[in-house]
Amino acid sequence: MTLVQALVLGAVQGVTEFLPISSSAHLILVPWFMGWSDQGLTFDVVLHAGTLIAILSFFWKDWLAMVPGALRRDRDPQHAQPAMLVLIICGTVPAAIVGFLAQKTIETTLRSPFILSMALIAVALVLWLAERIASRQKDLGKVSLPDALSIGGAQALALIPGTSRSGITIATGLFRGLTREAAARFSFLLSAPITAGALLKKLLDLRATGIADADKLPMLFGFLSSLMIGYLTIKFLLRYLQRNTLQIFIVYRVALGVVILILIQFAGFRP
């Protein structure tokens, strides 16, 4: 893998992990379009490590506020209170259970290009409906246990390639009455434990294999790219959703889903 490929894939991961457009779809499509070989499990681990650090660093004040006995509690209503930690733990459970039980099915049967395209379009329709009927009255401080469990249950669906974890959880947050920004903020906070757990499992799977010297520098570039672009993407989306709808992402998802269907039919798209 070249340094340019590493930078590009890191940037793709950083952007698509947080925008509601599906990182799994883009990490499959971009190498296919560019004629690159599969980046491999180890590189995927590095990219996810980068976006995990982006979440932890961007929301460091929120994480401090959640820890009992923290030196201070941020009074800004946009920041979570310590009780939020319980909500995040409860919301993480559904995806953890589904991921554990359905891992093999997810990695094999559900990775077909057709399912990828259908998931892109289906979640676009869910986002459209959420925009149409959501009340958007609740800020982050008003997230309840039923809200957390509902959003956490939706997060389990994100294991289907093309769904987009942020997309399905933001949509569910809107259905539960959260504002767009609050839904996105809770979605990002909720993603940290499940991402950390998946990352730890992948690291354990890779413990018997080392990293070749030639791969270390590209992995470093990929890690830094996913971290920095991911951090900027979180900042952008939270600001964007203060004044804008999800319409642009809905249109993009449908268009990408249609493009994949065309590629399946006419270009033999089989990643």
Query: Looking at the 3D structure of the chain, how many domains does it have?
Result: 1
In a domain, 174, yes or no: yes
How far CA 149 is from CA of 82, 97, 138, in Å, comes to 17, 13, 16
Q: What is the pLDDT of residue 76?
A: 53
In a domain, 162, yes or no: yes
Domain that holds residue 254: 3-266
In a domain, 240, yes or no: yes
User: E strands of 107-240, at which residues?
Assistant: none
Q: What is the pLDDT of residue 234?
A: 97
How far CA 225 is from CA of 3, 8, 42, in Å, comes to 11, 8, 16
pTM of the model: 0.89
In a domain, 271, yes or no: no
Q: What is the pLDDT of residue 21?
A: 95
In a domain, 92, yes or no: yes
Gyration radius of the chain over CA positions: 18
In a domain, 13, yes or no: yes
CB 18 within 8 Å of CB 230: yes
Print pLDDT tens along the chain (271 aa).
Answer: 899 999 999 999 999 999 999 998 898 889 888 888 877 777 888 899 999 999 999 999 888 888 753 344 444 555 544 488 889 999 999 888 887 777 666 666 667 889 899 999 999 999 999 999 998 999 998 899 999 999 999 998 888 889 999 999 999 999 999 999 999 999 999 999 988 988 887 777 767 666 677 778 999 999 999 999 999 999 999 999 999 999 999 999 999 999 999 999 888 777 6
Q: What is the pLDDT of residue 100?
A: 76
**Close Cβ partners of 153 (under 8 Å, ≥ 6 residues apart):** 94, 172
Number of other CB atoms surrounding residue 76 within 10 Å: 12
Q: What is the pLDDT of residue 69?
A: 39
Cα distance between residue 252 and residue 248, in whole Å: 6
How far CA 227 is from CA of 43, 140, 181, 223, in Å, comes to 14, 25, 21, 6
Q: What is the pLDDT of residue 82?
A: 45
Residue 117 in tokens: 């395209």
Cα distance between residue 185 and residue 202, in whole Å: 26
Cα distance between residue 172 and residue 81, in whole Å: 21
In a domain, 15, yes or no: yes
Residue 37 in tokens: 């070989």
In a domain, 62, yes or no: yes
